[in-house]
Structure 1
Amino acid sequence: MIAWVLYDIKNDKARTKVAKICKQSGLYRVQFSVFLGTIDRNMKDSLQLQIEDLINEETDSVYIFPMSKNELQETILLGQAFDKKLVSDEVMALFL
């Protein structure tokens, strides 16, 4: 499945660790606090558990949005949708 991970995490150390976990899960950074990529259900569950251990549920927000390839291809990107310095060809290929 394709998954978006978006977060707003106040603690710098926790935010850095969440970004590292996303990258290790095979997700690509498309904005500073937004990752996108293909993961399986087990990896999504693992990602959720690891992030839950790092965040403060009182102050932080994390969204993990699974979607199908068809849904991703219907996504509308406006303006500077991606940070062009961060987005790779692999990410762009997901939209084709």
Structure 2
Amino acid sequence: MEYVALVIYDIRDDKLRLEVARFLKRTGLTRIQKSAFAGLVKPSDRANIEAGIRRVTRGWSNYNVQIYFITPAAYSQRIVMSEGYSLEEEEDEFLI
């Protein structure tokens, strides 16, 4: 059975936040809000996502990352309210 991985985070440090976003993109998840990613994953991906986040955040403090694995049916029941919202990707340039 496949799951939808929903990862939300609150990270103040720009460098760490960018690293977490890069990792989540590499896993195939899609950014759905500035601090949220979601995507369909196999059961075997669950441990890899958790381990990857732990690896990226190792040695850092003052962050909050939450990972939810939900059924595609439950995810499809979500209610999305959006008007005039444009999602801009974080760019590497702001770290210079």
Select the residue among 53, 66, 69 that pairs with 1:51.
Answer: 53
Q: Tell me, in whole angstroms, the C-alpha distance in 1 between the residues paired with 2:86 and 2:42.
A: 26
Runs of 4+ aligned structure 1 residues displaced above 4 Å come to: 83-86
TM-score (norm 1): 0.74
Tell me the CA shift for residue 42 of structure 1. Answer: 2.5
* Ranges in structure 1 where 5+ consecutive residues have no aligned partner: 87-96
Select the residue among 51, 58, 63 that pairs with 1:60.
Answer: 63
Amino acid at match of 2:16: A
Amino acid at match of 1:42: S
Amino acid at match of 2:14: D
Tell me the CA shift for residue 8 of structure 1. Answer: 0.7
Amino acid at match of 1:61: N
TM-score (norm 2): 0.74
* Equivalent position of 1:39 in the other structure: 41
* Equivalent position of 2:30 in the other structure: 28
Q: Tell me, in whole angstroms, the C-alpha distance in 2 between the residues paired with 1:12 and 1:53.
A: 17
**1:78 aligned onto 2:78:** no
Aligned residues: 84
If each structure's strand is expressed as a fraction of its own residues, which one has the higher value? Answer: 2
Identity, % of aligned pairs? Answer: 27
Q: Tell me, in whole angstroms, the C-alpha distance in 1 between the residues paired with 2:53 and 2:19.
A: 9
CA RMSD of aligned residues (A): 2.0
